[in-house]
Amino acid sequence: MNAFRFQTVPTIVVESGAARRLGELLREQYPARTRLCVVTDGFLAQSGLLAPALDNLAAHGWDVTLIADVIADPPEHIVLEATARAVAARAEVVLGLGGGSSMDVAKLIAVLVPGGQPLQEMYGVRKVTGTRLPLVQMPTTAGTGSEVTAVSIVTTGATTKMGVVAPQLFADLAILDAELTRGLPRAATAATGIDAMVHAIEAYTSAHLKNPVSDMLAVKALALLSRNLLPACDNGNDTAAREAMLLGAMFAGQAFANAPVAAVHALAYPIGGIFHVPHGLSNALVLPHVMRFNAPAAADLYAELADVILPGTTGSAGAKTATLIAHLDSLVLATGIPRTLREVGIGEADLPRLASDAMLQTRLLVNNPRPVTEADALAIYQAAY
Ligand SMILES: [Zn+2]
């Protein structure tokens, strides 16, 4: 067996209704602290969904600074402004409460507040040098798995996305409350759920850091996600389906935090960066085409995943791979989200720019089971068009 290292968040609480006793849970975790910075987005802050959590925080003596201006694909200035507010509030604990963007910003606030290292020097793998503030994550979507990853994605400049990847970004505590995901609309449920499936698939086929623990988590994640995606889309109040999706997304997050994602994400980032297509949808648009491209190198692994999602599938590894891709295609079709780049407003003339931008994602492309050239990327976009 190849030597490997596996890291994850030390404490995980999975509890429906946990948000209603958030103050109590944080008091247990940090008995001597009081100043809490809650990082979320404007929609959640105005929705009333957070009110029970905020009430319970106050009841347990937490002095809360609410930073509610996180937007999707957060640009650098949002991160820096939020950090300045956390510094002014003398925050002692940071809580990310929302989708991937809110949790990603919370991670960066936690490492930026102690000071000493500018954000620009943190981009890349293991570039963060200092410590961080205590950090808690609480997702309101079942997709990014950001609550258990050590990655934070920032939009730099006009359209490019860069990642900070460092062990300091693992939180102390992740709290999963499926009640928080019940209000998520169908399209967002579908896109975030497919993102989580992509995390599991790419972790399982990751070129260098694939390991037995990530494999086990990816398999469990895919079983949960593939069976519960449509029930969660069809009935947003299906508690069992929502819980299964949240758990599956976390397992996938734990898997890819250690066996990193690859070309699906590398090709999805320019779609989000240039055209502001949500992350999960960007992944869904390129997924089947990247899998077809990868099949010559990854068919044996895809066949193992086909056995998980579609027990009883027969035939060669190539045949099982084709069945798996067709099944994933049919899942996406059934959710009703767009399936082509054209449907999200991308023109054929834009494809070369997407391909050249995708080549910048070297951090991800190195993990792909098959090397991707710019010509390959262009062909994949053309197939997705
Ligand atoms: Zn993703």
Q: Per-residue pLDDT for 234 more than 80?
A: yes
pLDDT digits (tens, 9 = 90+) for 5-14: 999 999 999 9
The token duo for 350 is: 């834009």
Q: Residue 130 has what DSSP assignment?
A: S
Computed over every residue of the chain, the mean pLDDT equals 96
Instruction: Please tell me the distance between residue 86's alpha carbon and the centre of ligand 1 in angstroms.
Output: 27
Question: Rg for the chain (alpha carbons), in Å?
Answer: 20
Instruction: Please tell me the distance between residue 358's alpha carbon and the centre of ligand 1 in angstroms.
Output: 15
d(CA 105, CA 79): 6
Instruction: Please tell me the distance between residue 195's alpha carbon and the centre of ligand 1 in angstroms.
Output: 5
136 with 175: CB under 8 angstroms? yes
251: closest CA among 208, 307, 196, 178? 196
Residue 157: the pLDDT is 78
d(CA 286, CA 140): 25
Instruction: Please tell me the distance between residue 296's alpha carbon and the centre of ligand 1 in angstroms.
Output: 23
Instruction: Please tell me the distance between residue 200's alpha carbon and the centre of ligand 1 in angstroms.
Output: 10
Instruction: Please tell me the distance between residue 381's alpha carbon and the centre of ligand 1 in angstroms.
Output: 18
Instruction: Please tell me the distance between residue 22's alpha carbon and the centre of ligand 1 in angstroms.
Output: 27
Number of other residues whose CB lies within 10 A of the CB of residue 190: 25
Residue 14: the pLDDT is 97
Beta partners for 138? 97
Residue 158: the pLDDT is 77
Residue 235 CA from chain centroid, whole number = 23
**Phi, psi (rounded to 5 degrees) for 202:** -70, -35
Q: pLDDT-based confidence at 159, cuts 50/70/90? A: confident
SS3 for 154? strand
SS3 for 13? strand
150 vs 14, 111, 171, 254, CA distance in Å? 20, 12, 8, 10
SS3 for 68? strand
